[in-house]
């Protein structure tokens, strides 16, 4: 699979994953009256894990409900610095990118507040 085709495939997988997260009711879901610019709560696991985006990288493990199964989070959260061995609950603003590159997310994430930090 060529690099550009892989990037498109990964972007599609990311969008499908985001769509599944939106169904949980915590991520932006326009059918529920939420839209980009909304603040969502994220439960962030204590360790990054190996994953493959456009290239091999390390991803956060994020859930959108306290008891939900964590999912790989391929993006960065502006203003947030993850410390290995610490679990977090964050409030994060999600915004749409007007014209994202083909290999980039159509959403940006910005830290609003750290609700809690717990050493794991």
How many whole angstroms separate alpha carbon 40 and alpha carbon 19?
Answer: 14
Residue 104: per-residue pLDDT: 84
- Are 34 and 28 spatial neighbours (Cβ–Cβ below 8 Å)? yes
State how far Cα 86 lies from the chain centre. Answer: 17
Report the number of distinct structural domains present in the chain: 1
Q: Is the pLDDT of residue 120 over 90?
A: no
pLDDT in tens, 50-103: 999 889 999 999 999 999 999 999 999 999 999 999 999 999 999 999 988 888
How many whole angstroms separate alpha carbon 63 and alpha carbon 71?
Answer: 6
How many whole angstroms separate alpha carbon 113 and alpha carbon 87?
Answer: 14
Give the residue, 13 or 2, on which the prediction is more confident. Answer: 2
pLDDT in tens, 7-56: 434 444 444 344 433 333 344 444 333 456 799 999 999 999 999 988 99
Residue 53: per-residue pLDDT: 86
**Integer CA distances (angstroms), 47 to 24, 70, 92, 94, 101, in order:** 23, 12, 19, 22, 29
What is the residue range of 64's domain? 3-119
First to last CA, the chain: 39
- Are 61 and 70 spatial neighbours (Cβ–Cβ below 8 Å)? yes
């Amino acid at each position: 699979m060529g690099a550009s085709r892989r990037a498109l495939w990964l972007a599609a997988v990311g969008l499908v994953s985001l769509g599944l997260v939106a169904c949980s009711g915590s991520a932006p879901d326009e059918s529920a009256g939420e839209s980009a610019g909304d603040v969502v709560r994220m439960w962030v696991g204590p360790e990054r894990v190996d994953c493959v985006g456009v290239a091999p990288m390390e991803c956060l493990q994020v859930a959108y409900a306290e008891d939900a199964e964590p999912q790989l989070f391929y993006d960065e959260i502006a203003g947030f610095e993850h410390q290995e061995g610490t679990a977090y609950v964050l409030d994060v603003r999600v915004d749409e990118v007007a014209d994202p590159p083909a290999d980039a997310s159509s959403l940006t994430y910005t830290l609003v507040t750290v609700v809690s930090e717990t050493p794991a």
